[in-house]
Structure 1
Amino acid sequence: MDAQLMIQPSSFIDAGIQLKPVRDFFLFKFSDDLQERLEGLNEKKRESNLSPGEAVELAGILELDRIFTLLNAKIIAESA
């Protein structure tokens, strides 16, 4: 099994995370800058043009995205 390196998702917390109001609760969202970075890295990946450093960064952002998906689903489920 290959170990995958990634930037720690917590490193994006200061500048890359927002809480957005949705109905009666708040959901975790990426800042506009972090969302643009994710889209740019995904595009480079599709083009097979990611550097090793960018691959590590993309892995960290994608892990944070998975965490947000789970947290937001829990928030929504508990608000029903």
Structure 2
Amino acid sequence: MTTTLLKPSSILPEGLCIQQVNNLTLFKFTDKLGDRMQELLDKKKADTLTAEESLELETIGELDNIFSYINAVMAAQAHEPS
């Protein structure tokens, strides 16, 4: 049986929200996706993660990296002098 990485875009509709923080618009995980990521991290720490869950965690982690990068770039641009 071959397991493949989930497409990050498959998580976006229910896993992403946009939040206004001061003068910034930031990409954030919904509470549901944040809770799922924490659940998977806890299972990984307990060494009870299945192969499918490991791939799911990897996908969520990749989205987290992408959103962190985008948010950092937007924050840096907001602080640049006009």
Residue 27 of structure 1 aligns with which residue? 26
**Aligned structure 1 segments of 4 or more residues deviating by more than 6 angstroms:** none
Across the two proteins, how many residue pairs are aligned to each other? Answer: 76
Greater radius of gyration (CA): 2
User: Percent identity of the aligned residues?
Assistant: 37
Residue 47 of structure 1 aligns with which residue? 46
- Distance in 1 between the 2:16 and 2:5 partners? 18
CA RMSD of aligned residues (A): 0.8
- Distance in 2 between the 1:73 and 1:38 partners? 21
Taking structure 1 as the reference length, what is the TM-score of the superposition? 0.91
Taking structure 2 as the reference length, what is the TM-score of the superposition? 0.89
User: What is the SS of the residue equivalent to 1:6?
Assistant: coil
Describe how 1:1-80 pairs up with structure 2 within 5 A: 5-80=4-79
User: 1:6 Cα shift?
Assistant: 2.2
- Distance in 1 between the 2:76 and 2:20 partners? 16
Show structure 2 runs of 5+ residues with no match. Answer: none
- Distance in 1 between the 2:5 and 2:57 partners? 8
